[in-house]
Chain A
């Protein structure tokens, strides 16, 4: 899915998307398709009716006192356009999805799978099993396959043996290879991805048709048309409004007949005629919420489409809408709030050692330490004391190289041994490690463990940091290095944004409460859960839910699965385990834990677009009354002409309204596809703003639009 959002919005009406959409719009005229949308179905029915009236008119059986058959036909055509424009909007949205689905399908070509048959000797890899080539489509859940370098993974599954680098660009669009291995949190593989090196033995986790790619294709194509409860409620509102207007228009006929009878009784010469069915139908179509009714499907499809563009797969539209309502967001500390690794942040010298000396010693001991912690010590020494990085080979003397002592689980220290040289006549040994390990080392070297260093170590721990003690070979403790959890840049701002959205952030960490509190404060999260176990996470989510909050969570590990299953919105990282992905209701292909902000925004946009266009659609009706009522009752009650405040030509006012009503759908397609802009401000202010734009705007726009169309329509000589 390499399509960028910029690309998506700039070319909404490009010929490549419009042409197939037009064809599809015509195909959707099938009444069985229309029946799904009650509002548009009403328009469809009256379009048929008006067309018949036009035909009857040409045959000389037109309505008494009605329009010329030509004008009835033009109105009928515009009613058809109303249906077509709505179909077109839906087709446009579908078209965008289909293009993405097509590119996904390319990667879904059938592959040959090496299915493991018979007994398998565990631990011996490819050598331990006998395989047979079968078609990937025949694989069922539970089957075991061997995938080797150059093979395409035949289906979603879990690695049960082996390690391999895999190119997942077919799914994620990211071409850098990722490691997949048995056990742990990186054990899931996705069908259609390519194994670059080594081999994997995979247990297939999905039957054909329900794999990840299938789900994605289904989603982007909008094939899953199950309406969310919110959409159903909106459908009910729109259907009820349609019924109301149907009644208002249908009863107008008896009212009008009675009014005509009355005026005939009062004045025999009266030329009053009852309102024609054509006019009633035009009034009806203008009043019922065709704007939102016509764009509803497009809004839904476009919402899912935006999600796919954000590289997130949702299992249901309901999950996307729920995302807009999230109250609490649970985030893993490591990798989400902080970088995965700790970094050196300060040097604390002891026993008369200067800070520079300590930094120098610390740097020497870390030069060969390629761990992120080690690198960070070198960087800090340079930043703080301008101790430049030395070449390791330059530290040797007379051909004797400096020897580096790597960290082992046994010694729990690392360091460097410098050979005897002019600078160090006795040579030099430096060690850094945990306080206990260094104390033991110092004692071994004949020194006394430093009480002062121990105090500093305790203080550093209280702050939520890790302490490394540095000592030399003379048994002298030089000082302490503080390693800190580094909060990611900009994360505090993102949390502030979430707070403005009304979302509370909770950090989850295995750290002790002291450390957790310090990091929580720095990152600006609202709350934290320290020493978190899977049970504690589950309990926390349940507590929030009991309190009436909607909980979102991101996770990747198998131990996150229960909590993911409990959370209302659960985003699993694509890099995570199959269990996590199954438990969640969304998968983030970028494995970016702050993606939830994007998801929340998309969920909110989806609802806002629906609400705003509903308001707009209803507000439009006021102007349409002013256009149609005076024109409709011209012959019965000429004095109603006073309501013609737009000064429309009574002969064309109704046509102009119908044209406006149809065109506004097209005009709003880009808005429906892009979504109404969401700003993280107070709900009340947002409502005020949207009421002003879509409510008041909806009230005023048609006055201008209908007048303009009427002026243009009257430029044609046809009517006079």
Chain B
């Protein structure tokens, strides 16, 4: 083994009440890799993403970030939940962008980006301001940094949310269906920003329904079906040679998109 994987999930399980949503998921990501999770709604892809960032707690298996178990300490056989402070610190090593943007409505675009820099990373305000300006510029919103969320379009809000996540220099960026809540004409500007990040070598894990985009940016694609990995591999293999029957029917729904 040359370099330890950045993220290693083994046999991750999760159930809500009696419903088992994740039935043992394995996933390995290396630094600089872009991995996409695809699958029908209810296949567990969003839940898996949320488990990685500890927004949900997995009930079985293990998630390692840079070799550290996420959310739990292993004391022999028993799992012990980490303290709230440790969990917060682990979350700070990952960034997450949400479907509904979730910008803080009482803060301007720049203040949204600065909050984590100042309060979590303890950076001085002046430095945080510079970092916020830099990243808002990178997502094309340098002019809008003093606007409040309600003054921005959906696409602009989502770009601020991406800047907020990237500015923390996370080891890993998680994207949860970030274009699903956007009007069709606003999707491209957000995907453009994500593509630029991928090209700059950011490690990214995405859940997306934008199949063309997934195919273009991903190094590795994972098809989830009913809480299990049904097929995974290079995008060409998954999209052009779907072996799994459910994957074939899933991709069939997007057929128009591939008819070029």
Chain B associates with chain A: no
